[in-house]
């Protein structure tokens, strides 16, 4: 396999892991309340979900060539609508709605469940990996999927190392506690942007595919 594919997948994993979203907000809250160790445990569990969604995104990119894009566009519509709803909730959030509470008893288990159900996951993963792999999508094969997923997880680990370092900093913990609502609302705007992009892309393909035929 060309090393450029591995580099692109690693970059995709890093971008996907570092982008603001529900998981990043959660680790900021956990890190502010409980410190780096709890934040790292949360992200360790969340990485399992990253593996699933990265694999699905890469599979979607390759699958469009062989099974068509209707199934993936349908999943994109569902994800986009849910992400839009989540974004609206985040934009309207108040402190009581975003407060993480004093502690999360089992950060790893919390991260595992969170990562597998993260509403940002599919649309953002598809957008990210499409951006870094689409120019050579015609060269991708099913045999490459496991290696590309591993490369994306390596990138995700790099992103999470940055997040763990950040959430443990005293200034970040104080700043998050002071501006929690503002951060949540700003992230909500990003969610809405991702949702609109996903809905336009998936919806346009579903509407115009019969016409093109």
Inter-CA distances, 42 with 86, 94, 149, 168, Å = 21, 24, 20, 13
pLDDT over 50 at 164, yes or no: yes
**pLDDT value for 100:** 45
pLDDT of residue 203 exceeding 70, the answer is no
Which position has the higher pLDDT, 68 or 201? 201
C-alpha span between 207 and 70 (Å, rounded) = 10
Whole-number pLDDT of residue 142: 84
Q: Is the pLDDT of residue 119 over 70?
A: no
Q: Can you tell me the distance from the alpha carbon of 92 to that of 188, in angstroms, rounded to the nearest whole number? A: 9
- Predicted pLDDT of residue 67: 60
What pLDDT shows up at residue 211?
45
122 phi and psi, to 5 degrees?
Answer: -65, -55
Tokens representing 128? 């990210």
Selected residue with higher pLDDT from 93 and 26: 26
Taking a C-beta distance cutoff of 8 angstroms, is the pair 203, 95 a contact? no
pLDDT-above-90 percentage for the chain: 14
């Amino acid at each position: 396999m060309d090393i450029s594919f591995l580099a692109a997948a690693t970059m995709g994993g890093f971008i996907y892991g570092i982008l603001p979203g529900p998981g990043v907000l959660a680790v900021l809250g956990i890190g502010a309340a409980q410190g780096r160790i709890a934040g790292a445990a949360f992200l360790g569990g969340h990485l399992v979900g990253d593996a699933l969604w990265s694999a699905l995104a890469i599979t979607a990119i390759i699958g469009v060539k062989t099974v068509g894009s209707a199934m993936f566009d349908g999943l994109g519509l569902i994800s986009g609508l849910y992400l839009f709803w989540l974004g609206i909730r985040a934009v309207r959030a108040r402190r009581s709605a975003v407060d993480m509470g004093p502690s999360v008893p089992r950060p790893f288990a919390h991260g595992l469940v969170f990562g597998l159900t993260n509403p940002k996951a599919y649309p953002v993963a598809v957008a990210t990996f499409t951006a870094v792999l689409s120019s050579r999508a015609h060269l991708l094969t099913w045999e490459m999927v496991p290696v590309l997923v591993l490369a994306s997880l390596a990138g995700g680990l790099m992103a999470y190392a940055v997040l763990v370092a950040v959430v443990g900093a005293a200034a970040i913990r104080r700043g998050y506690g002071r501006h929690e609502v503002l951060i949540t609302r700003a992230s909500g705007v990003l969610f809405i942007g991702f949702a609109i992009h996903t809905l336009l892309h998936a919806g346009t393909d579903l509407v115009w595919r019969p016409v093109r035929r």
